[in-house]
Structure 1
Amino acid sequence: MKIYDNSNIAESYSGVTTPLTYSFARAVYQEVYVHFCGMMGVGRRTIAANRPMFAKMVEFIGGRIYYDLINWYRLVSFLPGYSFNRGFFEKMLGLQKEYHYTPPPPKGAFERYFVVLPRLAFQTVKVALFFAFMGALVGRFNRRFDREYARLSALDLPALDLPECKALYFRVYDEFVARWQVPIANDFAVMVAAGAADKLYRAWLNEDGYVQLFSRSRRPLVSLDPGYRILEIVSLIKGEPELLALFGAGRPEEILRELRGKFSASPAAAAVAAYLARFGSRVPSELKLESKSINEQPEFFISILQATLASASPREVYAGSADAAGGLALWRRLVLSAVGGWAVNSVFRREETRFRRSLIFGFSRRLFLAIADKFAARGLLRTREDIFYLTIEEVFALIDGGPAEGLGALLASRKTDYELWKLADLPRRIESQLPVEAIETGLRGSAAAAPAARGVLKGVTAARARTATVAGVALVLPDFDPNADFAGKILVTRQTDPGWTIIFPLLKGIVVERGGMLSHAAIVARELRIPCIVGVERAVAGVPQGAGVELRLETGEVHVLN
């Protein structure tokens, strides 16, 4: 039996994606987790014996990326504390259904006492040391990344020939993937620390630990930096009446032209340029190589500035909340403080490395587009965007002089499949003994989701407000739409990723179908004090566009009012 689940990975790869993105993600997952297991003390023999597993951490079904879930349980079982970590793992992924995977037992007493237990003791000490020094490890990783990425950013990719592009890809892949074991180790720390803290909060305070922990800001999240910068830019624009009038009446294309011309010496223009230089790779679905970055569509950023200026009162992005542990015994408060601090710091470090992940994916997009331009010049592709319908293996085979016969038909077939799969409604979890091709045959032609029963939808409250209920007008977006009117709306969508953060300060509330308490939407919503309910099945189908909705935060219910 195979189990494929996209409850969590859909946050990074929402909806339908392309063969290039999938093949790139598959290769990254494979090597990153091999290096991570080595870092965590997993034996070389175990890693070698499970090479086929590492190659199948993700699967491509119906144009969507799924976790091959049993392989993830096996991976977690390689690490100390599996009996506890399994539950933490399931909660972090937002799984709706448990799977009771049991690792194979040792073969006899000798293996148990003289192989398995010594290895477990060694791993436990090693993992504990890494957890203790994770802040220093992530700091060193970030500094090295920033130095090397600065060198990459200075490269003139169009000036490279095809063999040089291929060599650059593998150099970057080898350098960055091998070092990404540190962010993955920190992700493991997030899972363990947040899971442990949640258990303690529930046991000692009867409180949701995730809400308590991540409602007490100890330092700003890196993923909120775009929101801070936008508010700073808006303040600068308001200080220049002529520029403010332009933003109030002009089209985004016109405003961009004036910022680069008449207002080029303006502090606001300098701030816009600095924003694009720093955050230009951030965009919704930023891990999909086919997604255009903000640098490629700066008009979108201008429209966000216009919406923020038009908003009556942009949301404050930083606040604190009371500590619910005040009535506990001193030793319990100290334990909660230590475990909670570990969890919160781990999450902040995760956001730092996720930002850098978006940079390297953005660089990979630019590199593949440079290759695509050279392919198009040789007549191999009709447009540069055609490269997204090839796998990385096919791209490099063409660079090596491989045959191009039938390439046009292959691309046409994959484009057709892409459009057809966009119309299909696929489940978040697939359990089957069939190969992927047979699963897809059964799913082909699946009708789009029928509307859910309207009235009351149920999820889990991830971020609370000052009041128990919040009402507003629903903005229903199956996927991100840069032209949507976000200001003052309750966003209803399938999932978000860090690229959505740019519009969060405009929102009155958030409802998402996918994701758990440690998902991007949940954590950022708690930081911004935006009421948020996650795990709301079929919310996009069940809430009409423009309907009045009420979020009941005590129960995690979404009521459709009209």
Structure 2
Amino acid sequence: MRAQAGGKAHNLCELTAAGFPVPRWAVLGTDAFDAALAAAGLSISEAPLTLAERLREAAIAESALRELTMPGEIREAIVAALEYVGAETVAVRSSGRQEDGVRDSFAGLFDTFLNVAGLDATEDAVRRCWASAFSQRATQYRHVRGLDFRDVALAVVVQRSLKPHSSGVMFTADPLTGSTERVVINGVLGLGEGLVSGAVDSDSVSIDKGTGLVVEELVCAKTEMMVGTAGGGVATVDVPADCQRQASINPALRDVLFDLGIRLEQHFGCPQDVEWAADETGTWILQSRPVTTLELQTGCEPEHSGEVCNDARIWDNSNIIESFAGVTSPLTFTTARKLYGDVYRSYARSLRVPPAQLEQMESWLPVMLGQFNGHVYYNLLHWYRMVGIAPGYPLNRRVLEVALGVSEPLDRQTAKLLHPFTFSNPIEKAISRARTTITYFRSIRTVDAMIEDFDETFVDFIERHGLMDVSAMDGQSAYRMFRQIYDEVADLWGPMMVLDAMLLTMVGSLAVLTKVFLRGAPEWVQFAVVNPEPDVISVEPARELTDIAAFVREHPDLDSFIAAVEPTVAYAELARRAAEAGPPEWQELHRKIEDYIDRFGYRCLDELKLETPDLRQDPAGIFHLLRMDAAGQREHTGDSAQDYLDTHLRGPRRKMFDALRRKIQRAATYREHLRFCRTQGFGILKSLVGVMARELEQRGTIHSRSDVFLLRIDELFGLHESEMTAAAAQAAIRRRKILQESYSRYAAPARFTTTGSEYTERELAEAGWRLSEDATYAPAGTVLTGTPSSPGVVTGRAVVVEKPQDFSSGILVAYRTDPGWAAALPFASALLIERASPLTHVAIIARELGVPTVVQIDGLTNAIRTGMTVSVDGASGRVVLLEEP
């Protein structure tokens, strides 16, 4: 049956015979396909061919079948099929011999045509269905999967069209976690093509098989739906406003589908991927095939990744939000989580932690980060454990809390119970701790040499990887290079994490000296005295961009160009004008931009997110920043901390203070240097992901390049190691796309607690997770307080932005920042950040530039709106709202 009718028709035959509700259908067998090939004078080469040769052969066949004059006997068979189906319109679907199998599903690779009306249109749909067997994506899929090209034959199903009020997909096992205890149903209003293509939003419901109870349900706002049109074909139409919140899967339909799903799984003996539709006459099964995802889901953790034991977990995003703000893709999160674990494993090894204790650390190293509703959090207790690897834990943990900007310190009793590992006896512990302490303080003494060695290695790393041209690289080569670079980065960065530990120890020591030597010193002083040296590399992008902006404003034609041309096209237009014989300032601006991209192109907004293009991939961000109002730029001079020390501290105490301060400044400069190098390393990985995405799209494994970011890192690896099928990937992508869209509706709490590895949506709601609501702004006269970070008093117009390119001048107000915001700081008269610590990247640079800054201001972006007149005192941390806009 499968050889003649193909996989889809074979399954439909079995469904029909078993009494499942299937719309009436007929099939044009593979013999009709063979006859069409013969009529077109086509044959499939049996010789082994390269992919390029196969693609050329396939392109000829695809074109010939599209233009084929239908042989009489096949036309008669189509007429007979239409008469048997007996419907005004039909769906024309592929049914390949190799399709809908357990290993190779060919999901989405062959064409389907819905709501086809009349004989001529049906003939054309059949021709195009046949032609899709030779599409570029299908040909690449066969080649990559090593399938026999002689078995390309495609049957075609002709099936009665439905006019469904709801349609969708049902999995009788969770396609993401592999759990066989749940049935997962996705649905949309109208035709299911909107769900499969991702064109419209969908609802989702998960049902426990044992109890039949709903364990998770999502009903989204549906603004569009796909429907059949009167003359044939389909169209996307607006959903009436009063129906947009209507569930596509109501309780009655849910129960019917659940029952059908259980019966289908029992009939076929394995979990099923089911397409369904419901109209006024009933609920219909359009196809059912094995869930190919499950073989690949073993050993994978759920989205809310915590530790293994059933104890309390504290989730805090006060610092991690600087790197991974808002909704973060599964690929970025799983890559970062794995990298954090690998880097700190290497760090512990560099401090000579014994093998037995390294093995104990495996219970928490892989889960130092967690993700809830798409938002990334520190699994905070593990970070206290990590700090405990180096000596000085009681002091270091308190400095860690300041550095992370956490809202509340850990109580002393709990802190004492947190250990990175344990020992079998006191002697073993004493020997190990002594060895680690000696190694640690040796690192402090030799930090300069350690950085020199790192730089030498990293220069070689950049020469080997940073200058490579990825445009001509194939996906498999990019995958191998990604894994090589990933391993190098983990091994290279691990030992350098001792810098963070050193800074915790030294900053804590300087804080003690500050309290003893400078009683009554303003709070901002303790942060300002630990700033890096003035020539820190992280300030250079801001200074360089300021110089470029000044050059632009010296030339009216360039100034007009930046103001008038859309940033999205400005780079290409500048290159065109620079290439023309004209005023030299055009060539000079182009050279400056090229040099900036070459030096700082990896530094951008959300630079550690793999899904966010950097300036090398999209230079538009530079032109957004160049539009900032130079008139609002402040002259930042002087060192407030130095001035304060000169006034209040002299003699031997000053010498002692300065000696420690210089060590801290040098270490902080090194740390900023390492972070900049980290940005370069991530940028290279980002470019390689782009190559893999490009080829996966060409092979038909994913529908669009952006889909790659909906995969986990282990799944991306699995696709390149033939451990994951395209169907499995597409099932995961389809589900996660729905979830990612829903995550953006949540207001993420800064900190919350869970207990154990299982928690319900209700428990998360009680922990502070809420849907975003419209803000209620504070009235004039309101006083907000935060942590003073950089002194200075400024009164001016507040500008509340989510992205630095939306800022021009005034008092910059943000919920969070990352290193990509540094370029906006020279144009800010003051800086207010709701979620940041005084030791985060942007706060450090703001002090270096002399920008009055207050951080950790609760409710800041809900209280202030753009246009308000605000008074900022960076020394006291007071922010006063003076006037409404």
Report the CA distance shift for 1:487/1:127 in structure 2 as closer, same or farther (over 3 A): same
Q: Matched residues in 1 for 2:634 and 2:455: separation?
A: 30
SS of corresponding position for 1:55: helix
Q: Matched residues in 2 for 1:516 and 1:425: separation?
A: 20
TM-score by length of 2: 0.59
Give the alignment partner of residue 380 of structure 2, picking from 69, 85, 102: 69
- For residue 50 of structure 1, report the CA deviation from its aligned partner: 1.5
Q: Matched residues in 1 for 2:567 and 2:874: separation?
A: 37
Bigger Cα displacement from structure 2, 438-447 vs 59-68: 438-447
Q: Which residue of 2 aligns with 1:23?
A: 334
- For residue 202 of structure 1, report the CA deviation from its aligned partner: 2.3
SS of corresponding position for 1:200: helix
Report the CA distance shift for 1:242/1:171 in structure 2 as closer, same or farther (over 3 A): same
Q: Which residue of 2 aligns with 1:399?
A: 720
Residue deviations 1:334-372 (CA, integer Å, cap 9, x gap): 221111111111111111111111111111111111111
Q: Which residue of 1 aligns with 2:760?
A: 438
Q: Which residue of 1 aligns with 2:542?
A: 227
Q: Matched residues in 2 for 1:361 and 1:218: separation?
A: 25
Q: Matched residues in 2 for 1:106 and 1:39: separation?
A: 15
> Is 1:94 matched with 2:408?
no
Q: Which residue of 1 aligns with 2:800?
A: 476
Specify the code of the residue in structure 2 equivalent to 1:101: A
SS of corresponding position for 2:832: strand
- For residue 487 of structure 1, report the CA deviation from its aligned partner: 2.8
Report the CA distance shift for 1:538/1:412 in structure 2 as closer, same or farther (over 3 A): farther
Report the CA distance shift for 1:375/1:313 in structure 2 as closer, same or farther (over 3 A): same
Residue deviations 1:271-300 (CA, integer Å, cap 9, x gap): 111001111111111111111212233232
Give the alignment partner of residue 408 of structure 1, picking from 697, 708, 730: 730
SS of corresponding position for 2:808: coil
Give the alignment partner of residue 14 of structure 1, picking from 325, 330, 344: 325
- For residue 517 of structure 1, report the CA deviation from its aligned partner: 1.7
Report the CA distance shift for 1:123/1:323 in structure 2 as closer, same or farther (over 3 A): farther
Give the alignment partner of residue 644 of structure 2, picking from 321, 324, 343: 324
5 Å-filtered alignment, 1:517-528, equals: 517-528=838-849
SS of corresponding position for 2:771: coil
8 A contact 1:58–1:67 mirrored in 2: yes
Q: Which residue of 2 aligns with 1:557?
A: 878
Q: Matched residues in 1 for 2:422 and 2:867: separation?
A: 64
5 Å-filtered alignment, 1:452-463, equals: 454=778, 455-463=782-790
- For residue 251 of structure 1, report the CA deviation from its aligned partner: 4.1
Give the alignment partner of residue 261 of structure 1, picking from 573, 576, 592: 576
The structure with the largest strand share of the pair is: 2
Report the CA distance shift for 1:489/1:105 in structure 2 as closer, same or farther (over 3 A): closer
Residue deviations 1:92-150 (CA, integer Å, cap 9, x gap): 111112223224799999933x3223332222221111012112212321232122122
Q: Which residue of 2 aligns with 1:199?
A: 512
SS of corresponding position for 1:496: coil
- For residue 528 of structure 1, report the CA deviation from its aligned partner: 0.9
- For residue 318 of structure 1, report the CA deviation from its aligned partner: 5.2
Q: Which runs of 5+ in 2 are unaligned?
A: 1-311
Q: Which residue of 2 aligns with 1:315?
A: 634
Q: Matched residues in 1 for 2:421 and 2:750: separation?
A: 37
Count of matched residue positions in the alignment of Structure 1 and Structure 2: 552
Q: Which residue of 1 aligns with 2:690?
A: 369
SS of corresponding position for 1:405: helix
Q: Matched residues in 1 for 2:406 and 2:573: separation?
A: 49
8 A contact 1:495–1:521 mirrored in 2: no
8 A contact 1:141–1:182 mirrored in 2: no
Give the alignment partner of residue 425 of structure 2, picking from 94, 105, 111: 111
5 Å-filtered alignment, 1:45-60, equals: 45-60=356-371
Q: Which residue of 2 aligns with 1:187?
A: 500
Q: Matched residues in 2 for 1:147 and 1:440: separation?
A: 51
Q: Which residue of 1 aligns with 2:93?
A: none
SS of corresponding position for 2:812: strand
Residue deviations 1:196-251 (CA, integer Å, cap 9, x gap): 21221122103234344146x74322111112212322343345454344345444
> Is 1:3 matched with 2:314?
yes
Q: Matched residues in 1 for 2:422 and 2:575: separation?
A: 73
Structure with more relative contact order (C-alpha pairs < 8 Å, separation 6 or more): 1
8 A contact 2:346–2:495 mirrored in 1: no
Give the alignment partner of residue 739 of structure 2, picking from 401, 408, 417: 417
> Is 1:236 matched with 2:551?
yes
Q: Matched residues in 1 for 2:675 and 2:421: separation?
A: 41
Bigger Cα displacement from structure 2, 150-159 vs 219-228: 150-159
Q: Matched residues in 2 for 1:249 and 1:107: separation?
A: 60
- For residue 441 of structure 1, report the CA deviation from its aligned partner: 7.0
Q: Matched residues in 2 for 1:435 and 1:296: separation?
A: 39
Give the alignment partner of residue 529 of structure 2, picking from 213, 220, 241: 213
Give the alignment partner of residue 155 of structure 1, picking from 442, 463, 468: 468
- For residue 542 of structure 1, report the CA deviation from its aligned partner: 1.6
Q: Matched residues in 2 for 1:252 and 1:439: separation?
A: 42
Q: Matched residues in 2 for 1:146 and 1:108: separation?
A: 39
> Is 1:508 matched with 2:829?
yes
- For residue 524 of structure 1, report the CA deviation from its aligned partner: 1.0
Q: Matched residues in 2 for 1:300 and 1:189: separation?
A: 35
Q: Which residue of 1 aligns with 2:561?
A: 246
- For residue 386 of structure 1, report the CA deviation from its aligned partner: 0.8
Q: Matched residues in 1 for 2:879 and 2:635: separation?
A: 24
Q: Matched residues in 2 for 1:60 and 1:253: separation?
A: 32
Report the CA distance shift for 1:390/1:363 in structure 2 as closer, same or farther (over 3 A): same
The structure with the largest helix share of the pair is: 1
Identity of aligned residues (%): 26
Report the CA distance shift for 1:388/1:104 in structure 2 as closer, same or farther (over 3 A): closer
Residue deviations 1:379-404 (CA, integer Å, cap 9, x gap): 12111111011011111111222222
TM-score by length of 1: 0.91
SS of corresponding position for 1:555: coil
Specify the code of the residue in structure 2 equivalent to 1:223: S
Which of 1 and 2 has greater Rg? 2
Q: Which runs of 5+ in 1 are unaligned?
A: none
Q: Matched residues in 1 for 2:665 and 2:481: separation?
A: 36
> Is 1:384 matched with 2:705?
yes
Report the CA distance shift for 1:470/1:35 in structure 2 as closer, same or farther (over 3 A): same
Q: Which residue of 1 aligns with 2:603?
A: 282
Q: Which residue of 2 aligns with 1:538?
A: 859
- For residue 26 of structure 1, report the CA deviation from its aligned partner: 0.7
Specify the code of the residue in structure 2 equivalent to 1:28: L
8 A contact 2:789–2:875 mirrored in 1: no
Q: Matched residues in 1 for 2:615 and 2:627: separation?
A: 15
Bigger Cα displacement from structure 2, 522-531 vs 206-215: 206-215
Specify the code of the residue in structure 2 equivalent to 1:535: Q
Residue deviations 1:276-327 (CA, integer Å, cap 9, x gap): 11111111111111112122332321232232xx421533455333443445
8 A contact 2:789–2:843 mirrored in 1: yes
Q: Matched residues in 2 for 1:369 and 1:542: separation?
A: 40
Report the CA distance shift for 1:66/1:259 in structure 2 as closer, same or farther (over 3 A): same
8 A contact 2:357–2:421 mirrored in 1: no
Q: Which residue of 2 aligns with 1:359?
A: 680
Aligned Cα root-mean-square deviation (Å): 2.6
Specify the code of the residue in structure 2 equivalent to 1:463: S
Residue deviations 1:171-219 (CA, integer Å, cap 9, x gap): 111112101024311122222222221221122103234344146x743
Q: Which residue of 1 aligns with 2:449?
A: 136
Bigger Cα displacement from structure 2, 254-263 vs 141-150: 254-263
Residue deviations 1:501-549 (CA, integer Å, cap 9, x gap): 1111111111111121211222111111111111111211121232222
Bigger Cα displacement from structure 2, 489-498 vs 452-461: 452-461
SS of corresponding position for 2:796: strand
Specify the code of the residue in structure 2 equivalent to 1:320: D
Q: Matched residues in 1 for 2:508 and 2:651: separation?
A: 22
Q: Matched residues in 1 for 2:572 and 2:808: separation?
A: 25
- For residue 459 of structure 1, report the CA deviation from its aligned partner: 0.8
